[in-house]
Structure 1
Amino acid sequence: MRRAERRFCISVRNTYAPHFETKPVNEDRRQFWALYFARFAEGFGFMTLVTLLPFYINVLQPTDTTILGVTISAGLIVGLYTSGFTLAQTVAVVPVAWSGDRFDKRTVLLVVLGIGVGVYALFPIVDSSGSFIGIRALQGIAVTGSGLMTLSLVGQIADVGTRANHIGKANAANFAASIVGGLGAGTLYEAFGFGPIFTIIVCITLVAWLSTFGYLETDETRVHGFPFAGLALNRRILTISAFRFQYAFSVTLVRTWIPIFAGVAAAEGGLAYGGLAVALATVIEKFTNMCCQPFTGRLSDSYGRALFVFAGGGAYGLIALAVPFTPAIGAALDLPAEIVLFGQVSPAFLPLVALSGLLGVADSFREPASMALFADEGTEDGGVASSFGIRELIWRPGSVVAPLLGGWLMYEVSMASVFYVGGAFALTGVTAFLLILVHTHGRQALFEW
């Protein structure tokens, strides 16, 4: 059944669906802006740490470690720099999402933003791999809670015909913060070290808390029961999960290893670029994604969700496969090895920046369509926060395991193998999505969802 037709149908809920009471949330423009700024703060902190990751590797110098007779390799420790973050996110998803549906989402958002203020204030005390992994885990809880609550509230406040557009704008705010945070982190680190960077993040997160407190209306929607159970059986959510589960491995590998590839020493398979060059190679994906998402979100509202998920995911995989060839591309095109502002780089620099930007364009088609689909199903069946929670849980195995896999591949196989594996996951994901979509929902489902 077409999405437009479903708006006028009475939803028949299965026996697992919770009983819920709904009161309208005041659709005030200031609420959207408060939520957009909370997304900005979330993206700023997250991307800053991603950009600083190769410098933490260089400073902390992870080595093989034996714990209780078990040897943990340097590659796995590097993987834990990200997996500690994502594992904590996984643990936080269900309780945070349930709390958002059962209680006031505004209050939950204020709590997790407050946690974020405290967590970022702790980063300057990092002096070992263990402390870095531990504080990154706390950051994972703050980032997950903020992301779930802001997206749930945006999806709940927005009308169905504008939902992907508003989600695209919220994501654009997140990406704008990623750009500012990435470029700022690279520049400030080279000038001042780690300390001042986290002072700025604390201040931005505190302003997000104050704007949420001052402008966001109380959420009076309440969901009784455990909405995860009913939504887990939703046919559309099950279908897209076949793609999203595999795609998580792809995105986590590619996004994490773009800055590592650019910044680590050549002896470890990297390009050994400076902070500003690493930042540009990292944030250009966020910039193109930010510019495209409000537009692609409107297209998804008009033309459906499935086609955008399929096209964006497939293009992402193909582009990822090309990343290891950037040195050969640069040499073949006789590109310069020195660029104003960035100094000595290599001929691979411009191709790497270009491919990173194309990754952002590809993902801008996939992301708002995917998020809007989960918001559509969650709003209709009751429990939009739980719907986004399921979306997060599907992502978590890939986001936890992929960094460990990437660290092992980087040290035991090659840097290039990380991107080959990442690209392959995206392509197998879209293939599985298409086959299940056609088999379960019909040949026209790709154009009708």
Structure 2
Amino acid sequence: MSNSRLQFWVLYLTRFAGGFGFITLVTLLPQYIEVLDPSAVSVLGLTVGAGIVIGLFTTGFTLAQTVAVVPLAWAGDRYDKRLVLLGLLAVGTVVYAGFALVESPGGFIAVRAMQGVVVTGAGLMSLSLVGQIADAGTRANHIGKANASRFAASILGSLSAGVLYDAYGFTPIFAVISVLLAATTVGVWLLLDDDETRIRGFPFSDLALNRRILTLTSFRAQYAVAVTLVRTWVPIYAGVSIARGGLGYTNAAVAVSLLIVAEKLTNMLFQPQTGKISDRTGRALFVFAGGTAYGLVALAVPLSPAVGALLDLPATFPVVGDLSQAFLPLLALNGLLGIADSFREPASMALFADEGTDDGGVASSFGIRELVWRPGSVAAPLLGGTLMTDVGMAWVFYVGGGFAVLGGLTFLAVLWRYHGARALVEW
């Protein structure tokens, strides 16, 4: 077996371990809220309400991710990405063990923030190394495989975390994650070659003005709003009451799990192949087609009850019981959302890797990609909540789909204007 293949495999394992740890915490957040019982606290004489404390369970993670992007990406380009990745994995091993020991909301928020640093840094370094090691003609294919590993972990973690918690509690779950990260650390140390690239200065300043990256940003900034709205609100749509605009499924937990798995499963299965095809036929075309298709499918989500009634689909299912005629159309649409995104994601990542590799600073290129996503991903939940309560649940999907379609059209226009009509199939 070639050394390069072993390096790819250990990087795929890194993506799997990071994804498994992340989704496990997302799945167990309700249990932590119940066990830690957050209440109002006083900070420097100011009272912080219980709702804000609960919000910090997620916001602390997100803020730590945002703060960590630039210094970690800079360190990866300036020094050895392999050593930076090893350090992050070692810290992650300790951090996940710490989740089993926290006894207060403040302690949980602190450990969750450290998890944000580890998740962001390990993701940046592993993707940067995949993009750097892969040949230009196979880059999207290898990135698609790395992403498929993360989706596999998300599926396994989301299905198993709740079951394991009910049977064994927190400690064994985080012991498994820590052992997985420790094994990954050893694999990276033994199998991954030293990274000999060294980029002096501050690559962010040059790459931020890179014309191709600016073109991709014209799409990605809008697409972040679309994906955050749609991915967040499909489960909400299924689970909340009909009076609040949802479908009001009786067995909401099982139905939501199946919906989430459908999107991740199709994304996982298709990404390696769509990445391989985009390497041959043009990555920009896949970004445009995948992003626009995502928007069109999102627009159809509120039509799922009408489709179910028109086709006279069943409303009762084995194991899960009574749901509604909208369940199968919604399940199919969420699967289609995963397929559409599988066309976009590896091609987009490969384009960022291309620019970072060519101009110096592949970690910084992925860092810019991460930062561009942040404003939309932070603002979208606030927008979605407002639309849901003031206008109607369907408008969450209309606005989300509209952002994706508009992002695709903006990308096409900028591509045509500044790079020529052939850029769509030549990039």
What band does the TM-score fall into relative to the shorter chain? 0.7 to 0.9
CA drift of 1:414 comes to 4.3
Q: Which residue of 2 aligns with 1:315?
A: 293
Q: Which residue of 2 aligns with 1:114?
A: 90
1:346 match: secondary structure: coil
Question: In the alignment, does 2:159 pair up with 1:183?
Answer: yes
CA drift of 1:45 comes to 1.9
CA drift of 1:34 comes to 0.6
Q: Which residue of 2 aligns with 1:42?
A: 18
Q: Which residue of 2 aligns with 1:151?
A: 127
CA drift of 1:62 comes to 8.5
Q: Which residue of 2 aligns with 1:284?
A: 262
Q: Relative to 1, partners in 2 of residues 1:143 and 1:257: Cα closer, same or farther, differing over 3 Å?
A: farther
Aligned residue identity for 1:338:
T
Cα distance between partner residues in 1 of 2:30 and 2:249: 12
Question: In the alignment, does 2:425 pair up with 1:447?
Answer: yes
Q: Relative to 1, partners in 2 of residues 1:440 and 1:50: Cα closer, same or farther, differing over 3 Å?
A: same
Quote the sequence identity (%). 64
Contact 2:89 2:118 in 1 (8 A): yes
Q: Relative to 1, partners in 2 of residues 1:243 and 1:157: Cα closer, same or farther, differing over 3 Å?
A: same
Superposed, which structure 2 residues align to 1:298-377 within 5 Å? Answer: 298-377=276-355
Cα distance between partner residues in 1 of 2:3 and 2:288: 32
CA displacement 1:46-100 (0-9 Å, x = unmatched): 23334445666788899999987799795x8776554433222111110010110
Q: Relative to 1, partners in 2 of residues 1:414 and 1:310: Cα closer, same or farther, differing over 3 Å?
A: same
Contact 2:140 2:279 in 1 (8 A): yes
Q: Relative to 1, partners in 2 of residues 1:115 and 1:210: Cα closer, same or farther, differing over 3 Å?
A: same
Contact 1:265 1:272 in 2 (8 A): no
Aligned residue identity for 1:201:
I
Cα distance between partner residues in 2 of 1:387 and 1:359: 26
- Across the aligned residues of Structure 1 and Structure 2, the Cα RMSD in angstroms comes to 3.1
Contact 1:186 1:279 in 2 (8 A): no
Cα distance between partner residues in 1 of 2:319 and 2:367: 42
Cα distance between partner residues in 1 of 2:150 and 2:337: 16
Cα distance between partner residues in 2 of 1:415 and 1:263: 12
Cα distance between partner residues in 2 of 1:235 and 1:56: 45
CA drift of 1:168 comes to 1.0
Q: Relative to 1, partners in 2 of residues 1:332 and 1:115: Cα closer, same or farther, differing over 3 Å?
A: farther
Question: In the alignment, does 2:208 pair up with 1:232?
Answer: yes
1:219 match: secondary structure: coil
Contact 2:77 2:199 in 1 (8 A): yes
Question: In the alignment, does 2:101 pair up with 1:161?
Answer: no
Cα distance between partner residues in 1 of 2:402 and 2:158: 27
Cα distance between partner residues in 1 of 2:212 and 2:98: 41
* Greater relative contact order (CA < 8 Å, ≥ 6 in sequence): 1
Cα distance between partner residues in 2 of 1:300 and 1:389: 22
Q: Which moved more, 1:333-342 or 1:294-303?
A: 333-342
Q: Relative to 1, partners in 2 of residues 1:402 and 1:126: Cα closer, same or farther, differing over 3 Å?
A: farther
Cα distance between partner residues in 2 of 1:58 and 1:409: 29
Aligned residue identity for 1:365:
F
Superposed, which structure 2 residues align to 1:108-147 within 5 Å? Answer: 108-124=84-100, 133-147=109-123
Aligned residue identity for 2:9:
W
Contact 1:164 1:372 in 2 (8 A): yes
Aligned residue identity for 2:349:
M
Contact 1:44 1:177 in 2 (8 A): yes
Question: In the alignment, does 2:35 pair up with 1:93?
Answer: no
Cα distance between partner residues in 1 of 2:13 and 2:351: 23
Contact 2:74 2:363 in 1 (8 A): yes
Aligned residue identity for 1:89:
Q
Q: Relative to 1, partners in 2 of residues 1:350 and 1:307: Cα closer, same or farther, differing over 3 Å?
A: same
Picking from 205, 208, 212, the partner of 2:184 is 208
Aligned residue identity for 2:209:
L
Contact 2:249 2:322 in 1 (8 A): no
Q: Which residue of 1 aligns with 2:413?
A: 435
Contact 2:250 2:322 in 1 (8 A): no
Q: Relative to 1, partners in 2 of residues 1:234 and 1:27: Cα closer, same or farther, differing over 3 Å?
A: farther
What is the TM-score when the length of structure 2 is the normalising length? 0.88
CA displacement 1:347-396 (0-9 Å, x = unmatched): 33322221111111000110111011011111111111111111111111
Q: Relative to 1, partners in 2 of residues 1:261 and 1:60: Cα closer, same or farther, differing over 3 Å?
A: farther
CA drift of 1:189 comes to 4.6
Contact 2:356 2:362 in 1 (8 A): yes
CA drift of 1:200 comes to 2.9
Q: Which residue of 2 aligns with 1:399?
A: 377
Q: Relative to 1, partners in 2 of residues 1:134 and 1:322: Cα closer, same or farther, differing over 3 Å?
A: farther
Q: Which residue of 2 aligns with 1:29?
A: 5
Contact 2:40 2:47 in 1 (8 A): no
Contact 1:288 1:360 in 2 (8 A): yes
Q: Which residue of 2 aligns with 1:7?
A: none
Question: In the alignment, does 2:272 pair up with 1:294?
Answer: yes
What is the TM-score when the length of structure 1 is the normalising length? 0.84
Contact 1:314 1:430 in 2 (8 A): yes
CA displacement 1:394-425 (0-9 Å, x = unmatched): 11112222233334444555444433332222
1:220 match: secondary structure: coil
CA drift of 1:124 comes to 4.2
Contact 1:285 1:356 in 2 (8 A): yes
Q: Which consecutive residues of structure 2, in runs of 5 or more, have no partner in the other structure?
A: none
Aligned residue identity for 1:85:
F
Question: In the alignment, does 2:388 pair up with 1:388?
Answer: no
CA displacement 1:10-40 (0-9 Å, x = unmatched): xxxxxxxxxxxxxxxx952211111000000
Q: Which consecutive residues of structure 1, in runs of 5 or more, have no partner in the other structure?
A: 1-25
Q: Which residue of 1 aligns with 2:357?
A: 379
2:199 match: secondary structure: strand
Cα distance between partner residues in 2 of 1:420 and 1:426: 10
Contact 1:259 1:282 in 2 (8 A): yes
Q: Relative to 1, partners in 2 of residues 1:339 and 1:62: Cα closer, same or farther, differing over 3 Å?
A: farther
